[in-house]
Amino acid sequence: MDWTARRARCREILSGDRCVFPASVFDPMSARVAEDLDFELSMLAGSVASLTVLGAPDLAVLTLSELAEQCYRIGRAGKLPLFVDADHGYGNALNVRRTIEELETAGVAALTIEDTLLPAPFGDPDKVQLISIEEGVGKMRAALDARQDSRMIICGRTSAAAVNGIEDALARARAYQAAGVDGMFFSGLKTRAQLDAIAPVLSVPLLLGAPGPELMDRDYLSARGVRIALQGHAPFMAAVRAVHDTLKALKEGVKPVNLTGVATADFVARTSRDADYEAWTRDFLTAK
């Protein structure tokens, strides 16, 4: 497939002057719904990928190949650019190179590599720890060196503001910017004071994950150089709840015809692109 156009659109978002809230997706159908609703960008989080593929919490037990396969399934289902949380790159800097190769081949438009020490080390698994700035820079340089399509966006990511404080977050961001990343993703910023301290220091576009309610004003974020801000991953959580409630109702004796909140046949046909398959059936499975 040709991923060029969607990568170009994603670069336009980063080089623009406003903040975009991406659609949190998890499979081909959710990606199609996001496209039909005219979202500009889709996003697959590492936590959501782990829940979708493994039914497991976000503990770095998902493998690179499993993530890449899910990214490809989502990407081939539509034309929305896909922004992906690539976690820590699945190992050291050499593993990061492999991560870039696989996700670029899978059609990802943009991704982040973070400096969290993953998986959790023995002895203190509940404490979030970060790798050194030097190792983080090595990972960013490896990611950039591995990229073959310059249109694909590679962003550094850090949760240092929540773990070590704003000064460490700024030191890491400056170092990753100097290494050449296309943007900086900050996880866990909660206040405007934090973002106001970061925004003037960096020249690359900013991206935010799990921002506090105080920050969720699009005009304010746009003025501070934030180009992508996540709104959490409610669509997947809503889907899980809907499955539970529907199965519970059926188990308790509710008749299928009396269920509520179920997608209509027309909705499913539209989202699954049934009309395309009907046309292809007529074109290729009937005599001319």
With 90 as the cut, is the pLDDT of residue 210 above it? no
- Kindly report the average pLDDT of the chain as a whole number: 97
* 3-state class (DSSP) for residue 38: coil
Helix 93-105 crosses helix 64-76 at what angle (to 10 degrees)?
20
Any bridge partners for residue 43, and if so which?
24, 83
* Mean local confidence (pLDDT), 227-255: 98
Domain 4-232 has CATH 3.40.640.10: no
The enclosing H or E element of 23 equals: strand 23-24
- Residue 50's pLDDT is what? 98
Contact partners, residue 273, CB within 8 Å, separation at least 6: 32
Please calculate the CA angle 170-175-176 and round it to the nearest 5 degrees.
100
Any bridge partners for residue 208, and if so which?
186, 229
- Residue 204's pLDDT is what? 98
**CA separation for the pair 143, 87 (Å, rounded):** 13
* Mean local confidence (pLDDT), 140-169: 97
With 90 as the cut, is the pLDDT of residue 60 above it? yes
70, 44 Cβ separation under 8 angstroms: yes
Q: How far is CA 56 from CA 25, 61, 87, 144, in A?
A: 17, 8, 15, 30
Please indicate whether residue 287 or residue 100 has the higher confidence score (pLDDT).
Answer: 100
Q: How far is CA 52 from CA 16, 62, 160, 239, 251, in A?
A: 32, 10, 27, 11, 24
Ranges of CATH 3.20.20.60 domains, the chain: 4-232
- Residue 11's pLDDT is what? 98
* Mean local confidence (pLDDT), 206-211: 94
Q: Provide φ and ψ at 174, rounded to 5°.
A: -60, -45
Q: Which two tokens stand for residue 109?
A: 């438009």
**CA separation for the pair 235, 24 (Å, rounded):** 7
Banded pLDDT at 1 (limits 50, 70, 90)? confident
Q: Which two tokens stand for residue 92?
A: 């050291």
Q: How far is CA 178 from CA 137, 140, 162, 229, 282, in A?
A: 9, 10, 22, 23, 56
